[in-house]
Amino acid sequence: MTTKHVGELEHLILLAVARLGPAAYGMAILRELAEHADREVSRGALYLILERLVEKGYLSPRMGEPSPERGGRAKRFFELTDEGREALRVSGRSVLALWDGMEFLLEEGR
């Protein structure tokens, strides 16, 4: 396994961050996963993985403006680094490559 590979949940979270663009922070990511991936991720797991991805260099954190409904605390936004984008590409490609020719499986469940 090369270092570029990421786990499934990491993959999903990276994708959610990519989809959300500049609006990616904890709560938004959680919602994105719930709405589009039908995944109820526990907060603890999400925050832990986000920090792990930061540590791996796939995500870079950025502080937003503090707001009153957050009790004066800033949002912690995340964006994909070049390495993160690369990792997403690698695992995305391998997933898609394996899916090649198996699309009928997607239909069956309908």
Partner 1 sequence: MRPYGTPPRGAVAILRWAVGQHAVADGIVGDLSEEFHERCRSHGRRAAARWFWREALRVALRFRLAPDRARHRASGGGIDGERRRAIVDWREDLAQAVRSLRRAPGFTSLSVGILALAIGTGTTMLAAFDAVLLRGLPVADADRIVTVTLRRGSGAALALSPDDVDEVRRRSRTMDDVAGVSSFGTASLPVTEVERPLVLDVAMVTPSFFDLLGARPELGRLIRPEDGEDGAAPVTVISYRTWQADFGGDPEVVGRRLTTTQDQRSYTIVGVAPPGLDFPIGADYWTLYFPRVSLNLVARLAPGRTPQAARSELLSIASTLERVQAGPGPVDASVASLEEAALGDARPILTTMAAAVAILLLIACVNVGNLLLMRATRRSREVVVRRAIGAGYGQVARLFLVESALLGAAGGTLGLGLAMALLRVLPALAPLSFPRTEMIGQASSPVAAALFVALLALAVFGVLPALAAARGNLASALRVDGRSGTGTRGRRRVQRFLVVSQVALALVLLVGAGLLTRSLQRLAGLELGYDVEGLAIVEVGIPFSEYMGSGMGVMFGEVFDRLRAVPGVTSLTPIMSRPFLGSLGVVRATPVPEGRSEVDVEGISQIPLEIGDHEYFETLGIRILRGRGFTMADGEDARRVAVVSEAVAARFWPGEDPLGERLRLIRDDWWTVVGVAADTRFRGHREPTPTIYLPWRQLQVIPAVTTVAVRADRELETVLPAMRAALHAYDPDLYVWRVDTMADYLADGPLAQPRTGALVLSTFGLAALLLAALGLYGVMSLAVRERTHDIGIRKALGASGAHLRRAVLRDALTMCVMGGGVGLVAALSLSRLLESLLYDVGPADPLAFAGASGVLLAVAVVAAYLPARRATSVDAREALRG
Q: Which residues of the shown chain bind partner 1 in the complex (CB under 8 A)?
A: 25-27, 42-45, 47-48, 51-52, 55, 61, 63, 66, 68-71, 73-76
User: What are the residues whose beta carbons fall under 8 Å from the beta carbon of 65, sequence distance 6 or more?
Assistant: 74, 75
Nearer to partner 1, 49 or 80 (CB): 49
Nearer to partner 1, 23 or 74 (CB): 74
Nearer to partner 1, 25 or 58 (CB): 25
Minimum CB separation from partner 1 for residue 78, in Å?
Answer: 9
Neighbours of 34 (CB within 10 A): 13
Minimum CB separation from partner 1 for residue 68, in Å?
Answer: 6
Minimum CB separation from partner 1 for residue 101, in Å?
Answer: 38
Minimum CB separation from partner 1 for residue 29, in Å?
Answer: 10
* Closest CA relative to residue 15, chosen from 99, 101, 95: 95
User: What are the residues whose beta carbons fall under 8 Å from the beta carbon of 86, sequence distance 6 or more?
Assistant: 4
Nearer to partner 1, 2 or 42 (CB): 42
Q: How far apart are CA 95 and CA 90, in angstroms?
A: 9
Note whether 33 and 13 are within 8 A (CB).
Answer: yes
